[in-house]
Chain A
Amino acid sequence: MTSFIRNQWYVAAYGSEVGRRLFSRTVCGEPVLLWRTRSGEVTAMSDRCVHRRFPLSQEPSHLDGDQVVCGYHGFTYGADGVCVGVPGQRRVPRTARLATYPVVEQDSFVWVWIGERELADEKLIPRAPWLDRPGWTVVKGMEPLNARYGLLVDNLLDLSHETYLHGGHIGTPEVAETPITTEVDESAAVVRVSRHMDDAACPPFYATSTGIEGRITRWQDIEYHAPCLYLLHSRIAPVGTPPPAEEDGSDPDAFHVEVVYAITPETEGTTHDFWAVARDFAPEDEKVTDFLRESNRTVVLQDVVALDVLEQALQAEQEGYQELSINIDTGGLAARRILERLRREGAPAGEPAVAR
């Protein structure tokens, strides 16, 4: 029994990571082999040969046209996972096939579905259109996290930690001081947390990238689509800038940054931390691009270091340890409740889901 919520779409990779080279990433404990056919389609299948479980992503395993050849004894598979050849004999055992996974390429991500195939509905995939949209410039990366994914969810839903963990980068005193509004849409499994700072210091992350020198209006609108996608709509404008137009939302005098995280459980205790930052200003400015890439990666790594340590500390705790929650945790608690419900619903009937 695991705590994975399997009947969900998860980001397995950026589309740019998957090509004509065998590539592997573990999602919810399942090693997934990803590659592109000659026509450019992404395929996702088990990364374990049915013969002796050799990883197909491991050299000398290789692609031969649209077939995967196991590097250990040569079992050969088509893009549909079916074994088409085994060494030394003509008869291929009927059961020789690799599990394949539904896969969708969208918004620069490769999404996979690890759970029950009949439930894999593409319309359930949450969108992050800025990552692949004209007029927006994107920097992105992925950091391995040695912590359960729930710790990253807690972290991202409470941005008051920016003031302490990321002071001097994205944190300023106003973040921790400003009250939040939390909204929960249970049926859609979405949590929204809004923090609108009317008059705040401009942290270096935004001062350097936008060129704003004085104080700013800073809006943070979080939209967490449990369990897999986190969006932070960030609006930055000099104090006094008019708010977005009521009619069409146009907002020409403000700077917009869309921060996207895909949160993908790798194993029970490790997580793929995909991060991307899209902006609608200075699109061609390489200096801004480099600065945002470096700064955001620095900030993500500050979280990774902290959460890795926290995971170790939690593992050393006795069962049933206590936490204490305060107002800033309202959004994080909402997310935990939703994740717990999704886990319960996804558990086989009669088997209680294991909370962790």
Chain B
Amino acid sequence: MTRASRPEQSQGPRRTAALPGEGVQRIHWIPGTDRLLAVCFCRTEREFEDPVELWDWLLAHPGTDSDAHDGLVLPYPERDSP
């Protein structure tokens, strides 16, 4: 099991959306449109029309030839490492 510990949980009703923290990925449904804005925890953003494509992109980010995640703490272990 790689899950380390539960995060701090709110002890009362949640007031506002939290800021994107380390390892948190966010998806905004852009008001007034049918589009979704995906924001990786590295802050790279991209718009989508299909949530399945969105997740494929977000979970694969940064892909093979980008250094967007260099130096960041990954929210989960690299999938392909043993």
A337 pairs with B13, CB closer than 8 A: no
- B9 in the interface (beta carbon within 8 A): yes
State the interface size on chain A (CB cutoff 8 A).
Answer: 46
- Asked, given contacts A330-B27, A333-B52, whether A243 binds B15 with beta carbons under 8 Å apart, the answer is yes
A254 CB, min distance to chain B CBs, angstroms:
8
Q: Which one of A28-36, A57-65, A88-96, A121-129 contacts B?
A: A121-129
A343 CB, min distance to chain B CBs, angstroms:
12
Inter-chain contacts of B5 with A (CB < 8 A): 123-124, 188
The CA-CA distance from A233 to B54 in the complex, in Å, is: 26
Chain B residue, CB-CB nearest to A225: B6
The CA-CA distance from A258 to B11 in the complex, in Å, is: 11
Interface residues on B, range: 35 or more
Q: Chain B at the A interface: mostly helix, strand, loop or mixed?
A: loop
Inter-chain contacts of B16 with A (CB < 8 A): 244
- B72 in the interface (beta carbon within 8 A): no
A261 CB, min distance to chain B CBs, angstroms:
16
Inter-chain contacts of A181 with B (CB < 8 A): 17, 26-29
- A346 in the interface (beta carbon within 8 A): yes
B10 pairs with A233, CB closer than 8 A: yes
A184 pairs with B24, CB closer than 8 A: yes
A-B contact list, 22 entries, CB within 8 Å: A7-B1, A123-B6, A179-B30, A181-B27, A182-B26, A184-B25, A185-B7, A185-B21, A185-B24, A187-B3, A187-B4, A187-B75, A190-B7, A219-B13, A244-B16, A249-B15, A256-B12, A256-B13, A326-B51, A327-B34, A327-B51, A330-B51
